[in-house]
């Protein structure tokens, strides 16, 4: 057998590397914007067309590149940031691996124009699929202009996996915001299909936050400041009342680099404990300054994850600093006895004060079991029902190991078709479950999951048939969203209206809600919209993702009756009827069971003496 191991050609190696570094248009834009920041640019302009699929161009006024550097930057592992392995533990620049430019050039048609301050003419290069097509002197402004056309033109399988334009645009906006927030000293602008999306001037960190997310954030934020020998913190955190159900306004920036850290995010969430509702997320914009030698940023190709040398101490410092800031600026709930009278208590100073009369039954003796309650007593003796002793098994143990969903469906289907599920025997237990007898035993129905299934199928049918019922709002509500979330909701408008929403766009980041789905009338418009956005974000990368399912599932989850709600007999009967009228009554939209059965044989075995 001959030799079979061989070196890959550079073009193939670059395409493989591109799969790690460049996953979508937003990945390429992130690398180009970081290069502009590293080049000490004062102004950076981003131009995209068709969500970056047709064109991505970044223009800066940085230091520029010489003719040799312009050609070398497309070689793999060519970098000006590090020279030896020890340099990896003192990284202060955004890029350093020397992979991005080579990866981009391997999967796109690229044009580079660059000139340094000391040169009269710059350099222009055309590269297509890692092949240099043209190189010449070119008259251009100081700095660099880099254009990427037809991303993944030579890898059609990768291009096929790109999402819709609104989704890809949202990812681009996310990357743009992260880099712009981390570098307020640089002016950034963004244009999409000849429309100006952002125009951010140089300024302070707070000015950058306000210019991206809106002027109302001036009142939503409180400062955070902490100086230690391990890490220095500065920035702003959101007031608890401004917390949202959607993620996207959580920014941790380490040495001017945006990072993702679920561990440190948990520290901030813990600081807000008992101040915000479960499922809500506070906004935070925190800068962390730390010695580069105490962190390792070379653990992920996209450099969004960082390994800290003393992560536990940083966790404690962040949590403490956030709690201190919340307390210092009186964010925690408190009673203020110095406030002026608001008119809630209207006291007439001329009205005489009359002592309240209290009637006491002097004959009542709580220790007299036989005669404790006399005629005229204001108390009635409680009737106590003795609690029967039971075995050690609880309800969950009764059903442990019973995972025969197919058999369960056959039993229930047979009994239902033969009208042997008697709704008149159904009753509610613990205000959470519905129990009813069937010919072969009993069934338990989870009222919340059952209602989710009913609503889910109702919303799906409404979207398909465009027949959703709308409950008009007495006063229209204005819902303000981040730019990315606004664009996402824009792409869902037809489906939203077919399910019962009556919404209209207002400005560049607001929706006015005139009506909501009739089945969701008990929920606020803001919660419903934010829930849909969050559900969409969580499932958009699933292999089985479906836009209609995501909307219907999110609405059903938020509109269904909750555990603890007492139902009348009529409501119980109606819930059972509607559940068994569903196409898939046995499972909630998320796959959880709605019904559990317990046969007579299984019940009998529970009462048999154990040997």
DSSP alpha helices (H): ranges in 186-289?
A: 205-213, 217-220, 262-271
Which residues, in sequence order, are CB contacts of 555 under 8 Å at separation 6+? 455, 459, 499, 517, 519, 520, 528, 531, 532
The SS3 call for residue 471 is strand
For 514-537, write each residue's pLDDT tens digit: 999 888 877 888 888 888 888 877
C-alpha to C-alpha distance for 176 and 43, rounded to whole angstroms: 14
Residue boundaries of the structural domains of the chain: 10-203, 206-328, 407-611
Give kind and range of the element (H or E) at residue 234. Answer: strand 232-238
The SS3 call for residue 434 is strand
Q: What is the pLDDT of residue 383?
A: 36
Fold of the 10-203 domain:
Heat Shock Protein 90 (3.30.565)
Lowest mean pLDDT among 68-82, 386-400, 474-488, 523-537: 386-400
Q: What is the pLDDT of residue 182?
A: 94
C-alpha to C-alpha distance for 210 and 219, rounded to whole angstroms: 10
Q: In whole numbers, what is the pLDDT of the chain averaged over residues?
A: 80
Q: Label residue 360 by pLDDT band (50, 70, 90).
A: low
Closest CA to 61 of 5, 124, 104, 116: 116
Q: Label residue 270 by pLDDT band (50, 70, 90).
A: very high
Percent pLDDT > 70 in the chain is 76
Tell me the backbone φ, ψ of residue 172, rounded to 5 degrees. -65, -45
Lowest mean pLDDT among 300-314, 329-343, 582-596: 329-343
Q: In what order do the strands lie in the sheet with 441-446?
A: 427-429, 433-438, 441-446, 595-599
Fold of the 407-611 domain:
Ribosomal Protein S8; Chain: A, domain 1 (3.30.1370)
Per the document, the length of the chain is 611
Within this chain, domains 206-328 and 407-611 share the same CATH topology? no
DSSP of 491-550 = HTHHHHHHTT-EEEEETTTEEEEEEEEGGGTTS-HHHHHHHHHHHHHHHTTSTT--HHHH
For 611, other C-beta atoms within 10 Å of its C-beta total 3
| Mean pLDDT of the 405-433 span | 62
For 69-113, write each residue's pLDDT tens digit: 888 888 876 666 655 565 555 666 665 656 778 888 888 999 999
The SS3 call for residue 240 is helix
CATH class name, domain 206-328: alpha beta
Q: What is the pLDDT of residue 382?
A: 36
Cβ atoms of 129 and 161 within 8 Å: the answer is no
Closest CA to 590 of 554, 564, 565, 559: 554
Cβ atoms of 117 and 100 within 8 Å: the answer is no
Burial of 13 (0-12, 13-18, 19+ CB in 10 A): middle
C-alpha to C-alpha distance for 584 and 594, rounded to whole angstroms: 10
Percent pLDDT > 90 in the chain is 32
Which residues, in sequence order, are CB contacts of 604 under 8 Å at separation 6+? none
| Mean pLDDT of the 219-224 span | 90
The two three-digit tokens of residue 236, written as one number: 């702003």
Q: What is the pLDDT of residue 354?
A: 64
């Amino acid at each position: 057998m001959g030799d079979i191991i061989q070196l890959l050609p550079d073009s193939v190696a670059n395409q493989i590397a591109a799969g790690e570094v460049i996953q979508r248009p937003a990945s390429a834009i992130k690398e180009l914007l970081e290069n502009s920041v590293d080049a000490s640019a004062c102004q950076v302009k981003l131009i995209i067309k068709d969500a970056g699929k047709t064109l991505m161009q970044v223009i800066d006024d940085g230091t520029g590149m010489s003719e040799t550097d312009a050609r070398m930057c497309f070689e793999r592992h060519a970098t000006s940031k590090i020279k030896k392995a020890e340099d990896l533990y003192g990284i202060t620049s955004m890029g350093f691996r020397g992979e991005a430019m080579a990866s981009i050039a391997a999967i796109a048609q690229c044009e580079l124009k660059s000139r340094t301050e000391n040169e009269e003419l710059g350099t222009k290069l055309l590269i297509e699929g890692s092949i240099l097509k043209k190189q010449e002197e070119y008259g251009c402004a100081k700095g660099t202009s880099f254009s990427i056309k037809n991303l993944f033109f030579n890898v059609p399988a990768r291009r096929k996996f790109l999402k819709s334009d609104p989704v890809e645009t949202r990812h681009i906006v996310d990357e743009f915001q992260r880099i712009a927030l981390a570098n307020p000293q640089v002016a950034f602008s963004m244009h999409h299909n000849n429309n100006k999306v952002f125009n951010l001037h140089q300024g302070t960190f707070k000015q950058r936050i306000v210019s991206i997310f809106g002027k109302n954030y001036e009142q939503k934020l409180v400062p955070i400041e902490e100086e230690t020998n391990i890490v220095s913190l500065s920035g702003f955190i959101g007031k608890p009342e401004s917390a949202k159900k959607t993620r996207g306004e959580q920014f941790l920036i380490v040495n001017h680099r945006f990072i993702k850290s679920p561990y440190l995010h948990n520290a901030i969430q813990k600081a807000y404990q008992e101040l915000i509702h479960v499922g809500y997320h506070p906004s935070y914009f925190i800068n962390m300054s730390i010695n580069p030698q105490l962190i390792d940023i070379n653990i992920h190709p996209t450099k969004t994850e960082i390994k800290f040398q003393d992560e536990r101490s940083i966790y404690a410092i962040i949590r403490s600093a956030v709690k201190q800031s919340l307390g210092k600026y009186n964010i925690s709930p408190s009673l203020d006895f110095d406030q002026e009278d608001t008119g809630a208590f209207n006291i007439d100073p001329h009205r005489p004060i009359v002592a309240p009369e209290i009637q006491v039954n002097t004959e009542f003796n709580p220790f007299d079991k036989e005669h404790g309650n006399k005629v005229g007593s204001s108390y009635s003796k409680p009737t106590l029902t003795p609690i029967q002793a039971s075995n050690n098994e609880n309800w969950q143990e009764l059903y442990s190991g019973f995972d025969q969903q197919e058999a369960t469906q056959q039993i229930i289907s047979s009994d239902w078709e033969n009208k042997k599920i008697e709704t008149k025997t159904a009753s509610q237990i613990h205000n959470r479950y519905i129990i009813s007898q069937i010919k072969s035993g009993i069934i338990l129905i989870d009222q919340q999951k059952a209602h989710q299934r009913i609503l889910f199928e109702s919303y799906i049918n409404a979207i398909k048939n465009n027949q959703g019922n709308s409950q008009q709002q007495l006063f229209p509500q204005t819902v303000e969203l981040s730019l990315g979330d606004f664009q996402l909701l824009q792409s869902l408008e037809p489906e939203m209206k077919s399910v019962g929403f009556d919404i209209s766009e207002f400005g560049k980041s607001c929706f006015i809600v005139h009506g909501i789905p009739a089945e969701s009338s008990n929920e606020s418009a803001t919660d419903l919209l934010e829930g849909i956005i969050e559900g969409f974000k969580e499932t958009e990368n699933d292999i089985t993702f479906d836009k209609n399912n995501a909307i219907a599932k999110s609405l059903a989850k938020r509109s269904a009756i909750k555990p603890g709600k007492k139902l009348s007999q009529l409501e119980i009967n109606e819930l059972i009827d509607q559940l068994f009228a569903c196409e898939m009554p046995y499972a909630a939209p998320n796959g959880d069971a709605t019904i559990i059965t317990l046969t007579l044989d299984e019940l009998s075995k529970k009462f048999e003496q154990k040997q």
